[in-house]
């Protein structure tokens, strides 16, 4: 947990700097692909995912370390060869886990968040799940386990492999010539994120594009079919925690309402989007039928709300950085209390971004959590040792945030 937190402290400012550069470049080229409020939602999703991972809130039924101990026929040392093998096997693992997430109903729930943005930009790469609480696909790493690639090599290579998928989430880089035959490029990944019928469920590869060509899921970007982004059942919210469980909620509802037990049991394993017969008429859900004729969500916001949302996510990043940098000092179970505060914070300000009247309640709840923390510990998880006025600054910020939420709900939303 602590090591991953340190890695994220280094990676986060790099990602943010690249997001800002893309934004500036888009404005300069008069082709801004990164609306601020969409980027805030994406970054907030990245925060929820990283907090979940750092807190270790996931379960692996079969650990890679156990696989190595049981089936290894050779034992490699941590060297260049073992890292290359690990990277290649992880990419194979990534292709199949990614493809299955698109094809099986209950697995789509953990991946829908990544596709939920109706834009395509570097920030949307940060839309990662908190709903992936169980890892089912460790068996796909069997080739590495057979060769005895050390678990420490896999542990280091996995986040590196994930971070290398950041750069190709952009519309500003066009086709890249010969590289298109080897690596996943922005053009390939635009196809993957598109909801056009020509592009659905294509290009699942993560680093090497040849997996799609080998297994029959490759589709080149067509000049006469501009990609349209999002999901066919649009999220219609900026709240990443809600998005993480929208599909699961629909599955539970449909399973409950299904009239026969076969549908109740098999709905989870059917192709993504499958519903029992006549459910689209009996229990309709919002679905995009014409990809070139729908209104993107949340495009009409006051500048005050947009700038306040940007300020909120930046302040949240400061809170998160302190958590990641002091995991050992904060210790158990306090890191989970801190994580709860972060999740309540994100839920609160993204509800405000959705112009929900309940934003005041959520803002009040996180205010109460913070006051409880400071009253119980007389400190913000040791921050007073670094800066003696920290309690007053945090309480002042939270008071201002609560009053601002009231202002938006009671005044700004009614006049805009």
Report in angstroms the alpha-carbon separations of 17 from 10, 11, 21, 295, 318: 12, 10, 6, 30, 15
pLDDT tens digits for range 159-191: 999 999 999 999 999 999 999 999 999 999 999
**Helix-then-strand count for the chain, H and E:** 18, 2
- Determine contact, residues 346/241, Cβ cutoff 8 Å: yes
Per-residue pLDDT for 26 more than 80? yes
pLDDT tens digits for range 320-361: 999 999 999 999 899 999 999 999 999 999 999 999 999 999
- Three-class SS of residue 77? coil
Residue range 30-41: average pLDDT?
A: 97
Q: pLDDT value at position 231?
A: 97
pTM recorded for the entire structure = 0.95
pLDDT tens digits for range 392-415: 999 999 999 999 999 999 999 988
pLDDT tens digits for range 100-121: 999 999 999 999 999 999 999 9
Task: Report whether the peptide linkage leading into residue 266 is cis, meaning its omega lies within 30 degrees of zero.
Answer: no
pLDDT band, residue 135 (cuts 50/70/90): confident
Per-residue pLDDT for 245 more than 90? yes
Q: pLDDT value at position 6?
A: 85
Per-residue pLDDT for 61 more than 70? no
Which residues 6+ apart lie within 8 Å of 363 measured at CB? 348, 349, 352, 401, 402, 405
Q: Could you tell me the residue ranges of all domains in the chain?
A: 2-215, 303-415
């Amino acid at each position: 947990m602590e090591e991953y937190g340190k890695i994220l402290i280094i990676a986060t400012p790099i990602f943010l700097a690249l997001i800002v550069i893309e934004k500036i470049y888009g404005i300069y080229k008069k082709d801004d692909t990164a609306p601020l409020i969409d980027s805030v939602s994406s970054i907030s999703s990245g925060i929820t995912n990283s907090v979940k991972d750092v807190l270790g809130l996931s379960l692996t039924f079969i650990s890679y370390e156990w696989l190595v101990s049981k089936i290894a026929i050779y034992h490699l040392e941590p060297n260049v060869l073992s890292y290359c093998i690990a990277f290649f096997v992880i990419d194979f693992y990534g292709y199949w886990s990614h493809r299955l997430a698109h094809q099986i109903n209950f697995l789509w729930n953990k991946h829908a968040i990544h596709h939920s943005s109706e834009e395509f930009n570097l920030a949307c790469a940060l839309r990662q799940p908190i709903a992936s609480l169980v890892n089912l696909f460790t068996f796909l790493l069997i080739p590495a386990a057979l060769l005895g690639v050390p678990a420490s090599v896999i542990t280091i290579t996995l986040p590196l492999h994930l971070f290398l998928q950041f750069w190709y989430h952009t519309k500003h880089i066009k086709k890249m010539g010969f590289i298109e035959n080897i690596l996943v490029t922005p053009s390939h990944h635009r196809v993957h994120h598109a909801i056009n019928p020509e592009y659905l469920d294509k290009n699942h590869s993560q680093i090497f594009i040849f997996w799609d060509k080998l297994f029959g899921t490759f589709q080149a970007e067509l000049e006469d079919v501009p990609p349209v982004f999002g999901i066919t059942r649009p999220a219609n919210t900026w709240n990443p925690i809600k998005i993480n469980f929208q599909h699961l909620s629909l599955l539970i509802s449909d399973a409950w309402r299904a009239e026969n037990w076969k549908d109740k049991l098999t709905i989870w394993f059917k192709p993504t989007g499958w519903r029992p017969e006549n459910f689209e008429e009996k229990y309709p859900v919002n679905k995009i039928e014409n990809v070139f004729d729908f209104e993107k969500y949340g495009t009409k916001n006051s500048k005050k709300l947009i700038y306040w949302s940007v300020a909120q996510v930046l302040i949240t990043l400061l809170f998160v950085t302190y958590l990641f940098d002091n995991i050992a000092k904060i210790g158990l179970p306090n890191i989970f209390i801190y994580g709860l505060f972060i999740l309540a914070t994100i839920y609160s300000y993204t509800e405000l971004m959705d112009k929900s009247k309940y934003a005041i309640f959520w803002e009040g709840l996180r205010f109460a959590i913070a006051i409880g923390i400071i009253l119980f510990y007389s400190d913000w998880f040791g921050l007073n040792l670094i800066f003696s006025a920290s309690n007053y600054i945090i309480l002042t910020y939270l008071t201002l945030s609560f009053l601002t939420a009231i202002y938006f709900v009671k005044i700004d939303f009614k006049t805009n």
